Amino acid sequence: MAANLSAAGSIYLYHPMNTQRKALISGITGQDGSYLAEQLLARGYEVHGMIRRSSSFNTSRIDHLYNNPELLDRRFFLHYGDLTDSSNLNRLLERIGPDEIYNLGAQSHVKVSFDVPEYTAEVDGIGTLRFLDAIKEVGLKDHVRFYQASTSELYGKVQEIPQTEKTPFYPRSPYGVAKLYGYWIIVNYRESYGIHATNGILFNHESPRRGETFVTRKITRAATRISRGLQDCLLLGNLDAKRDWGYAPEYTDGMWRILQNDEPEDFVLATNITTTVRDFVSVSFSHLGIQLEFRGGGVDEVGVEVSTGRTLVRVDPKYFRPTEVDLLVGDYTKARERLGWEPKTKWDELARIMVDADLALLGSEVKSTNAAVM
């Protein structure tokens, strides 16, 4: 599908008489970007997405929008771009003239940020500055509203439980530190230039569209594959880590609500419930009829199937991080009171949704393999 993109990018020209609300999303090919694009289209927006050139297809999460002739190049436009390229950002803002910008693009993997710290800072930190500066340069500063994808990773070594908008930050990874720059440059441009720029401090949110190397999706994919005899064992890192896991489409709805608030303010979105990785594993396997018992400790801890004695989960230190965030749990009171936002899906229901989706995916993979050999 990527073949037509440059055409989609070059034919669109901003017209001042066009009154439909326009949103620009960086990171539209990611988990959140894909849900947000769907929701904004459903709300009647014209949606523009920034997409990176890739040597392989990177659009699977938005292909259903791209392949819809009612939408493509009518209300849904894709443009090549990158958060490391200022001239590209300037050009896009000039051409599109968006009313709302959602900056979701990022090198978003915490562990990977230890391997590519400089690139992570470029994209997640300075990329935010580039966007804000482009807004100033093209004269959109009094018009546009800007959402920054800030993160509970800012709290890192937590200074308070639960974490609120007022809790001091203590990031524990190059990713967290890069996002800290993003957070403060938003505050600074808001205070210096009056730009309607806001931070959504979002706690972990997951879905069937979650990238396969984040822990929840890694667990639900492996559990379904193990249950069908396609994989022997799941290797994980820190089983004791605790996260506040919510359901991604509810959080992208929260992003939109944050931008509809006339005062540019920062908000925590979370569920206020924290759970260990180990418990997420147990619930995921249990939904497939596999009861696990965890035995041992540290790197020797294993998850054993009670009925057969098979070891299905092991610890592999290669998934440990140089510095870990042990516990996250967010207090979303401000979002509830000011935006009417509340999470609906609890983490165990979320695990079941993801397991069911991965099972369905396995079914279609098996079917398409069969079709290919027949």
Query: Is 236 a residue that touches ligand G4F (CB under 6 A)?
Result: yes
104 in Cβ contact with 124 (< 8 Å): no
Query: Is 84 a residue that touches ligand NAP (CB under 6 A)?
Result: yes
Query: Is 201 a residue that touches ligand G4F (CB under 6 A)?
Result: no
Q: Give how far the C-alpha of residue 297 lies from the chain's centroid of Cα atoms, to the nearest Å.
A: 31
Q: Residue 267 class from Cβ within 10 Å (0-12 exposed, 13-18 middle, 19+ buried)?
A: buried
Label residue 16 left, alpha or beta by phi (over 0 means left) and psi (-120 to 50 means alpha).
Answer: alpha
Query: Is 83 a residue that touches ligand NAP (CB under 6 A)?
Result: yes
Q: Which of 321, 338, 346, 352 binds ligand G4F (CB under 6 A)?
A: 321
User: Which segment (32-40, 132-140, 192-200, 322-330) binds ligand G4F by CB under 6 A?
Assistant: 322-330
Helix (H, G, I), strand (E, B) or coil at 132: helix
- CA–CA separation, 32 vs 249, rounded Å? 7
Query: Is 29 a residue that touches ligand NAP (CB under 6 A)?
Result: yes
Q: In what order do the strands lie in the sheet with 100-103?
A: 76-80, 46-51, 22-26, 100-103, 145-151, 196-202, 267-269
Q: Does the active-site annotation cover 119?
A: no
- For residue 105, the partner it binds in ligand G4F, ligand NAP, none, with Cβ less than 5 to 8 A by kind, is ligand NAP
User: Which residue number, 12 or 319, has a Cβ lying nearer to ligand G4F?
Assistant: 319
Q: Print the binding letters for residues 181-200 with ligand NAP: x by CB under 6 A, - otherwise.
A: --------------------
Calculate the CA dihedral of residues 260, 265, 270, 274 and round it to 10 degrees. Answer: 180
- CA–CA separation, 48 vs 26, rounded Å? 9
- CA–CA separation, 233 vs 244, rounded Å? 26
User: Which residue number, 59 or 108, has a Cβ lying nearer to ligand G4F?
Assistant: 108
DSSP code, position 157: S
Q: Does the active-site annotation cover 151?
A: yes
- For residue 88, the partner it binds in ligand G4F, ligand NAP, none, with Cβ less than 5 to 8 A by kind, is none
Query: Is 208 a residue that touches ligand NAP (CB under 6 A)?
Result: no
User: Which residue number, 2 or 304, has a Cβ lying nearer to ligand G4F?
Assistant: 304
DSSP code, position 104: -
166 in Cβ contact with 158 (< 8 Å): no
Query: Is 128 a residue that touches ligand NAP (CB under 6 A)?
Result: no
- For residue 331, the partner it binds in ligand NAP, ligand G4F, none, with Cβ less than 5 to 8 A by kind, is none
User: Which residue number, 133 or 324, has a Cβ lying nearer to ligand G4F?
Assistant: 324
Catalytic option among 66, 175, 183, 332 = 175
Q: Does the active-site annotation cover 345?
A: no
Q: Print the binding letters for residues 237-256 with ligand G4F: x by CB under 6 A, - otherwise.
A: xx--x-x-------------
Q: Which of 18, 213, 323, 369 binds ligand G4F (CB under 6 A)?
A: 213
90 in Cβ contact with 137 (< 8 Å): yes
Query: Is 180 a residue that touches ligand G4F (CB under 6 A)?
Result: no
User: Which residue number, 227 or 275, has a Cβ lying nearer to ligand G4F?
Assistant: 275
Six-digit token string for 120: 């992570």
- CA–CA separation, 317 vs 309, rounded Å? 23
Query: Is 274 a residue that touches ligand G4F (CB under 6 A)?
Result: no
Q: What are phi and psi of 6, to 5 degrees?
A: -65, -35
Catalytic option among 151, 198, 216, 345 = 151
Q: Residue 294 class from Cβ within 10 Å (0-12 exposed, 13-18 middle, 19+ buried)?
A: middle
- For residue 294, the partner it binds in ligand NAP, ligand G4F, none, with Cβ less than 5 to 8 A by kind, is none
- CA–CA separation, 225 vs 221, rounded Å? 6
Query: Is 152 a residue that touches ligand G4F (CB under 6 A)?
Result: yes
- Where do contacts with ligand G4F occur on this chain (CB under 6 A)? 108, 110-111, 151-153, 203-204, 213-215, 218, 236-238, 241, 243, 277, 319, 321, 324-325, 328
- Where do contacts with ligand NAP occur on this chain (CB under 6 A)? 26-27, 29-33, 50, 52, 54, 58, 82-84, 104-108, 123, 149, 151, 202, 204-205, 211
